[in-house]
Amino acid sequence: MRNTFINTLSSLAATHEDVFLLCGDLGYSVLEPFAQAFPDRFLNVGVAEQNMTQVAAGLAREGYNVFTYSIGNFPTLRCMEQIRYDVCYHEASVKVIAVGAGYAYGPQGVSHHTTEDIAMLRAIPNMTVCAPADPVEARAAAEFMVRHRGPGYVRINKAGEPTVHVTDTPLVLTPGEFIQVRPGRDTAVLVTGALLGNILKEVRDSDRDYAVYSVPFIGRYSRDALAALAEKFDTVITVEEHQLNGGFGSSVVEALSDLYSMGGIAHMPKVRRIGIDNRFIGVSGSQEYLRSQARLTLGALESQE
């Protein structure tokens, strides 16, 4: 997914001369094609992510559409003050790219577990939060962020994700929309990020008649999309590789509750959330191992019934 995003960004930079890429002394074997093609629009700022964000804000003030790139927590949690004041307050065109969503860097331990970023970044005004699910969505996310003026955050997995969207038509992402990847009648399962492939396989391998949707953008949901879900399904399940507090599932509950209270939907569907149970998993291991420890499956939810 990260290679697809950067390769797409490199291709787009050829025709979008405002694209500028900063990194925090990493991305080797990934960022070289961009650096070689556009040496005057690439800068390795070193292990100094807070400074990187401030440099990005300054470049944005000069007219560039700036992308910052680092591992998970480092361009996000470490830089919250700079993101809030220097980027979002000024509506600067800075796109924060965090590679290693959730437990993608699981062997490095809690310092590299990116599990609170959605809650923190979606709370900041003017920030557009995107968590693509597969390489097709990663390509579409890069295309969107190159067009988008203003702050953005893209949360991408590391590598090896299965391709879910198999189509000859290029995917175009629209904030607020849900992308149906499997029809169903009983329950709607909304997934954000790289767990989509796992959840889709789990549904297909079972007798569940669940509809599955990918939700690459978190927040600012379309009223029509929410109303359609509430009208068709009595139960909605949200899935994320993130803490339950304040994450994707919380954003869906908030949006549906607000819509219901304003009379936009006739009834409030039951929302069940799958996410990390608001605790640190203080062990090292592969992403799949840590996902299993956090019980990020539909089966874990059904075992509670």
Judged by DSSP in three states, 217 sits in strand
Q: How confident is the model at residue 13 (pLDDT cuts 50, 70, 90)?
A: very high
Q: Which fold has domain 179-302?
A: Rossmann fold (3.40.50)
The type of residue at 105 is: Y
Within a 13 Å sphere around the CA of 41, how many CA atoms are in the beta-carbon half? Answer: 22
**CATH of the structural domain 2-156, one choice from 3.40.50.2300, 3.40.190.10, 3.40.50.970, 3.90.45.10:** 3.40.50.970
- CATH 3.40.50.970 boundaries in the chain: 2-156
Where residue 167 falls among pLDDT bands split at 50, 70, 90? confident
Residue 68: Cβ-neighbour burial (10 angstroms; 0-12, 13-18, 19+): buried
Does the pTM surpass 0.85? The reply is: yes
**What's the token pair of residue 60?**
């944005």
Q: Boundaries of CATH 3.40.50.920 in the chain?
A: 179-302
pLDDT tens per residue across span 105-164: 999 999 999 999 999 999 999 999 999 999 999 999 999 999 999 999 999 998 788 899
Average pLDDT over residues 4-17: 96
Residue 303 pLDDT greater than 70, yes or no: no
- Contact between residue 237 and residue 203 where contact means Cβ atoms under 8 Å apart: no
Q: What is the DSSP string of 116-178?
A: SHHHHHHTSTT-EEE---SHHHHHHHHHHHHH--S-EEEEE--S-PPP----SSPP---TT--
